[in-house]
């Protein structure tokens, strides 16, 4: 009996040490009042994204939930309005697997929203599931879609500077390796999916690094944020049904809740004084060093150029969209181009302008409407 009690005590003590040193997330501080500022959070209908949006709404920001599912996005927006007491939480349709949808979202957002202060790329997938495409679906959703969306929203981000872009990455980037000759090859089988997921997380870290270099001096800062080990839908989404009842209790014990996973992305979005660390990788609310492959500036620039081609931006096009790129569904030819654009869906508690001017005119209108704000960080 004494041995059993001793063993139980040792296990409990070990768990407490693991929980407080590895599982429990440090709370995010940063700016407390975000009234008058607008944030976009992708994949915000559940998990880390929803908790991130909730905290931004509680601090008074206007929050746009950019989600693929209208039903789940509308429900999440309703929940967040109720829980935060902030009526300025809205849903807008965005499918990162569909480049036409990304462009439609950008057009709808720029035509209805005068500000963008915080852009958080939270949405992502870890597996293709049963979907079979002629391209790398994980790369498109986890990197190419966010890459294109960032480019299309840059005019608004620049007009509202200082502003921030946060890319939710992962420690899996340490296992990533980019093969530029096979970057867009379809992924088949769970082994390839594991490798492709790590590759896309490496792409996230390199994207934040190169974006910071490209935007130096503009007032936009960029960060890659690792949420830590999180018990979210991404963890169990592709686990066989018979295995989920066994994993759920284990996940509850050793993984962070989504609220804990949201702390580092929130830190990167709100913490004051981290502007000199633009382009860096953060975990547990502090900057961390990354392996050589994740700080290779030549690889980052090469990925940037390859991403422009795959996103349909064209090899000679600069970081800001123009009328020509916005008037077509996919710009330059690309294996990721889509031919069935979706109509943007917007849900909001208050009416907004319904006009859809072209991007160049919108850029001038945004710059004229935006008034100087106190510094974001």
CB of 113 closer than 8 Å to CB of 38: yes
Beta strands in 110-188 (DSSP E): 118-121, 163-168
| β-bridge partners, 167 | 121, 224
pLDDT digits (tens), the chain, 377 positions:
666 655 555 555 554 444 444 555 567 777 789 999 999 999 999 999 999 999 999 999 999 999 999 999 999 999 999 999 999 999 999 999 999 999 999 999 999 999 999 999 999 998 776 667 778 999 999 999 999 999 999 999 999 999 999 999 999 999 999 999 999 898 888 788 889 999 999 999 999 999 999 999 999 999 999 998 766 665 555 556 666 676 666 665 667 788 999 999 999 999 999 999 999 999 999 999 999 999 999 999 999 999 999 999 965 455 544 434 333 333 333 333 333 344 455 565 544 333 334 444 444 444 444 444 434 43
pLDDT for 162 equals 96
Whole-model pTM? 0.77
Catalytic member of 15, 19, 20, 197: 197
pLDDT for 268 equals 97
Q: Reply yes or no on whether 197 is catalytic.
A: yes
**How many helical (H) and strand (E) elements, i.e. helices and strands, does the chain have?**
14, 9
pLDDT for 85 equals 96
Q: In sequence order, which ranges of the chain are alpha helices (DSSP H)?
A: 2-18, 47-58, 70-84, 99-112, 137-139, 145-159, 190-214, 233-236, 244-254, 258-261, 263-270, 297-310, 323-327, 359-369
pLDDT for 242 equals 65
Q: Which domains does the chain show, CATH number per domain?
A: 32-311 (3.40.50.720)
CA distance 224 to 170: 9
pLDDT for 190 equals 78
pLDDT for 32 equals 81
Residue 221 CB contacts under 8 Å (≥ 6 apart), including other chains? 162, 163, 164, 165, 212, 215, 274, 275, 278, 377
pLDDT for 191 equals 86
CA distance 162 to 218: 8
| Assigned token pair, 85 | 């007491």
CA distance 124 to 193: 13
| Assigned token pair, 125 | 């997938």
């Amino acid at each position: 009996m004494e041995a059993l009690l001793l063993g139980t005590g040792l296990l409990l003590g070990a768990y407490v040490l693991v929980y407080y040193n590895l599982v429990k997330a440090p709370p995010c501080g940063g700016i407390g009042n975000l009234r008058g500022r607008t944030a976009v959070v992708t994949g915000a209908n559940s998990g880390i994204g929803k908790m991130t949006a909730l905290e931004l709404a509680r601090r008074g920001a206007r929050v746009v939930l950019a989600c693929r599912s209208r039903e789940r996005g509308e429900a999440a927006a309703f929940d967040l309005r109720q829980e935060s007491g902030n009526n300025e939480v809205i849903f807008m349709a965005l499918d990162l697997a569909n480049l036409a949808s990304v462009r439609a979202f950008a057009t709808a957002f720029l035509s209805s929203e005068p500000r963008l202060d915080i852009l958080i790329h939270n949405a992502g997938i870890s597996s293709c599931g049963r979907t079979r495409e002629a391209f790398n679906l994980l790369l498109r959703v986890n990197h190419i879609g966010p890459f294109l969306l960032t480019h299309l929203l840059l005019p608004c981000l620049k007009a509202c500077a200082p502003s921030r872009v946060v890319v939710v990455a992962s420690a899996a980037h340490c296992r990533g390796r980019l093969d530029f000759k096979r970057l867009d090859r379809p992924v088949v089988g769970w082994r390839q999916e594991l490798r492709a997921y790590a590759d896309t997380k490496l792409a996230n870290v390199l994207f934040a690094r190169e974006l910071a270099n490209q935007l130096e001096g503009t007032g936009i800062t960029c960060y890659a944020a690792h949420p830590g080990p999180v018990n979210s839908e991404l963890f169990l989404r592709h686990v066989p049904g018979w295995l989920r009842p066994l994993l759920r209790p284990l996940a509850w014990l050793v993984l962070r809740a989504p609220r804990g996973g949201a702390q580092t992305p929130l830190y990167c979005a709100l913490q004051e004084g981290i502007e000199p660390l633009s382009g860096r990788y953060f975990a547990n609310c502090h900057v961390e060093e990354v392996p050589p492959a994740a700080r290779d500036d030549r690889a980052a620039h090469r990925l940037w150029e390859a991403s422009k081609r795959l996103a349909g931006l064209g090899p000679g096009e600069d970081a800001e969209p123009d009328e020509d790129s916005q008037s077509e569904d996919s710009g330059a030819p690309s294996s990721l181009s889509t031919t069935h654009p979706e109509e943007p869906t917007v849900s909001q508690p208050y009416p907004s302008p319904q006009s859809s001017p072209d991007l160049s005119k919108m850029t001038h209108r945004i710059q004229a409407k935006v008034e100087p704000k106190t510094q974001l960080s």
